[in-house]
Amino acid sequence: QVQLVQSGAEVKKPGASVKVSCKASGYTFTSHYMHWVRQAPGQGLEWMGIINPSGGSATYAQKFQGRVTMTRDTSTSIVYMELSSLRSEDTAVYYCGRDLSLLGPDYWGQGTLVTVSS
């Protein structure tokens, strides 16, 4: 069965960077794009971008351009999302989500809480 397992919770100081991982299993890793979506406490869902695990190319939401980098390792079936210059407003649960034919995520990871606090 399809599973996306994310790395554990992180606590970072303002200005630092965080790198969240998402390990995929149960399907052909390079056959599906992967989205990253975040959710601030008590708020809605916010799309950050998408990566093609096959070629490694990524498209980022305009809001995060210059601050986010999505990469992948095909040997381990892991995708990564790195967010830099963290500020308190980046405190959120970060989700990876497998793409369904460029229609949106069909399977989701369990989420990774990133807390930014001095």
Partner 1 sequence: EVVLTQSPDTLSLSPGERATLSCRASQSVSVNYLAWYQQKPGQAPRLLIYGASSRATGIPDRFSGSGIGTDFTLTISSLEPEDFAVYYCQQYGSSMTFGGGTKVEIK
- Chain residues binding partner 1 by CB under 8 A are 35, 37, 44-47, 50, 61-62, 95, 97, 100, 102-111
Rounded to a whole number of angstroms, the minimum distance from the CB of residue 14 to partner 1 is 26
Supply the DSSP string of the chain, one letter for each residue. --EEEE---EEE-TT--EEEEEEEESS-GGGS-EEEEEE-TT--EEEEEEE-TTT--EEE-GGGTTTEEEEEETTTTEEEEEE-S--GGG-EEEEEEEESTTS-EEEE---EEEEE--
Rounded to a whole number of angstroms, the minimum distance from the CB of residue 103 to partner 1 is 5
Nearer to partner 1, 3 or 17 (CB): 3
Rounded to a whole number of angstroms, the minimum distance from the CB of residue 38 to partner 1 is 11
